[in-house]
């Protein structure tokens, strides 16, 4: 028996590391790290075959560690899978730019993790049983679909080419949409624009693949226990084997798709057929992703531009964009002699909330406060998450009376809001307000300093109040 491959698991949460250890401990040697610094050090020491790393960690985060490892000759070829919260789309983009080979969003789905790890650790001879004609077929399919931008044309090409290379009675691409409907999007026995809605209860193999996100292979349709519920419908069918492979890569982009092939092959689905179908499913995923993104390239560009200036948790503007806009508004107000106000506020006793109820509940509060700020802010206002539990609102063309009024309304709305799952807690804020008028403030940094001072003075005077600089 050969030496086990090594996986380095990097996460500051011991519970999450334990979950991954339970999954992979028997098959691999597991190395653990708690942060990015330790990940870099242990990677140099052990040269693992794969690194699974969380993005959000204390000290050096996963993106920073990834960038270091991918820039060093000794470690650059080690595959890195990053984990990030589903809402942190910006982290996904930054992680891939830093050199990560893959990402998975939390909360994680165990079969998906297993599939990704297996894909990155496959040996060079994994596909050695593919035939020469299979390799030519894969090359031809890849070349053909690389020039196609129509998702439906890609699906049609896949099912037609599969019929040429494998002895199949039917090859289909099936989708389960947001309504839960199971639809045959393309099949070698359907017309070009035809679609067929299926009753999922009559296709237990699709249902099982949908639930497990793993391939399902039936080598004897008439006797396999999975087919017991549809035995009457299948007893006279002229085929013997079924393989269903989920197209799960980048599911958030392309949706839920399955490659389903039914065949009269009496010996069942061989390793060759399975691996060929798996490769076609992967090619389909990549092609569909590219086609769908190409169809909405402008929308995608605008989307990435937008998330680059937004805070991932609250959807308010982030710290960097706050300063960009404040500098612009300060310059405009100074030039035209118009007033400009700034409101800073901080959640009172937020550390106690985090310590008492956990960071997940704390994040829920931050997210809700972001929504409350949006409900109060005018269209011309610029609300931002300044950092941690601190928020700011830029108020163009607003004198100190208007700013003070808005700050008090914000204070009252948050104070009176009943936060979900916190029935016995009252959340309050301390606010500071500053205003540029008649050139009383010399720079936008001074405007920030004044509002910030007002906020901290409110804190020191007992919290739960608004003070004007």
Tokens matching residue 49: 């075959």
Q: Where in the chain is the domain with CATH 3.30.450.40?
A: 132-297
C-beta of residue 294 within 8 angstroms of C-beta of residue 253: no
Candidates 177, 180, 173; CA nearest to 258 is 173
Q: Where in the chain is the domain with CATH 3.40.50.2300?
A: 6-120
pLDDT at 386 exceeding the cut of 80:
yes
CATH 3.40.50.2300 assigned to 309-468: no
* Whole-number pLDDT of residue 307: 80
Confidence of residue 1 (pLDDT cuts 50, 70, 90): very low
Residue-wise pLDDT for 362-378, tens only, equals 899 999 999 999 999 99
User: Of the ranges 81-90, 267-276, 381-390, which one carries the lowest mean pLDDT score?
Assistant: 81-90
Tokens matching residue 262: 């039914």
- d(CA 90, CA 54) in angstroms, rounded, equals 14
* Whole-number pLDDT of residue 131: 80
Q: Which residues pair with 217 in a beta bridge?
A: 243
Prediction pTM value? 0.47
C-beta of residue 103 within 8 angstroms of C-beta of residue 84: yes
Residue 187's φ and ψ, nearest 5 degrees, are -155, 150
Candidates 107, 85, 104; CA nearest to 363 is 85
Strands 50-54 and 80-85: parallel
C-beta of residue 374 within 8 angstroms of C-beta of residue 393: no
Query: Span 76-83, mean pLDDT?
Result: 92
Candidates 229, 308, 222, 226; CA nearest to 266 is 222
Q: Which residue numbers are catalytic?
A: 389
pLDDT at 285 exceeding the cut of 50:
yes
Burial class (CB in 10 A: 0-12, 13-18, 19+), 461: exposed
* Whole-number pLDDT of residue 164: 79
pLDDT at 319 exceeding the cut of 90:
yes
C-beta of residue 169 within 8 angstroms of C-beta of residue 238: yes
Q: What is the CATH number of domain 6-120?
A: 3.40.50.2300
170 Cβ contact partners less than 8 Å away, ≥ 6 residues apart? 187, 188, 189, 239, 260, 261, 262
Average pLDDT, the chain: 85
Q: Which fold has domain 132-297?
A: Beta-Lactamase (3.30.450)
Tokens matching residue 339: 């007033």
Q: Residue with structure tokens 């990834």?
A: 66
């Amino acid at each position: 028996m050969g030496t086990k491959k090594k996986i380095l698991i990097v996460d500051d949460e011991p519970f999450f590391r334990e979950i991954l250890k339970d999954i992979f401990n028997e098959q691999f040697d597991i190395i653990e790290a708690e942060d990015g610094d330790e990940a870099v050090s242990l990677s140099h020491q052990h040269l693992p075959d794969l690194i699974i790393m969380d993005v959000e960690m204390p000290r050096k985060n996963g993106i920073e560690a990834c960038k270091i490892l991918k820039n060093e000759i000794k470690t650059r070829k080690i595959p890195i899978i990053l984990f990030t919260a589903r809402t942190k789309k910006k982290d996904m983009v930054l992680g891939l730019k830093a050199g990560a080979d893959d990402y998975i969003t939390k909360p994680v789905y165990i079969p998906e993790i297993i599939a990704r790890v297996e894909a990155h650790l496959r040996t060079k001879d994994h596909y050695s049983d593919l035939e020469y004609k299979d390799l030519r077929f894969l090359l031809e399919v890849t070349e053909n679909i690389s020039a196609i931008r129509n998702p439906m044309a890609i699906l049609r090409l896949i099912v037609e080419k599969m019929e040429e290379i494998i002895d199949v009675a039917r090859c289909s691409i099936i989708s389960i949409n947001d309504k839960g409907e199971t639809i045959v999007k393309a099949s070698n026995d359907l017309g070009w624009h035809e679609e067929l809605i299926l009753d999922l209860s009559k296709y237990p193999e699709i249902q099982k693949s949908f639930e497990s996100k793993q391939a399902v292979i039936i080598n004897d349709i008439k006797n396999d226990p999975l087919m017991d519920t549809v035995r009457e419908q299948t007893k006279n069918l002229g085929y013997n084997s079924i393989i269903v492979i989920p197209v799960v890569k980048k599911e958030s982009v392309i949706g839920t798709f399955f490659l389903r092939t039914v065949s009269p092959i009496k010996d069942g689905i061989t390793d060759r057929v399975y691996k060929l179908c798996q490769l076609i499913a992967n090619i389909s995923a990549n092609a569909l992703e590219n086609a769908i993104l190409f169809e909405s390239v402008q929308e995608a560009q605008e989307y990435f531009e937008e998330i680059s200036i937004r805070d991932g948790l609250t959807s308010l503007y982030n710290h960097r964009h706050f300063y960009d806009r404040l500098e612009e508004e300060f310059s405009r107000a100074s030039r035209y002699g118009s007033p400009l106000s700034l409101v800073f506020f901080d959640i009172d006793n937020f550390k106690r909330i985090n310590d008492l109820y956990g960071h997940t509940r704390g994040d829920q509060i931050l997210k809700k406060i972001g929504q409350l700020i949006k409900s109060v802010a005018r269209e011309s206002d610029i609300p931002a998450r300044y950092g941690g539990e601190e928020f700011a609102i830029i108020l163009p063309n607003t004198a100190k009376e208007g700013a003070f009024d808005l700050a008090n309304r914000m204070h009252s709305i948050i104070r009176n809001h009943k936060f979900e799952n916190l029935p016995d807690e009252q959340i309050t804020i301390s606010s500071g307000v500053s205003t540029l008028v008649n050139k009383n403030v010399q720079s936008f940094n001074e405007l920030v300093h004044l509002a910030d001072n007002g906020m901290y003075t409110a804190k020191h005077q007992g919290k739960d109040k608004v003070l004007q600089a």
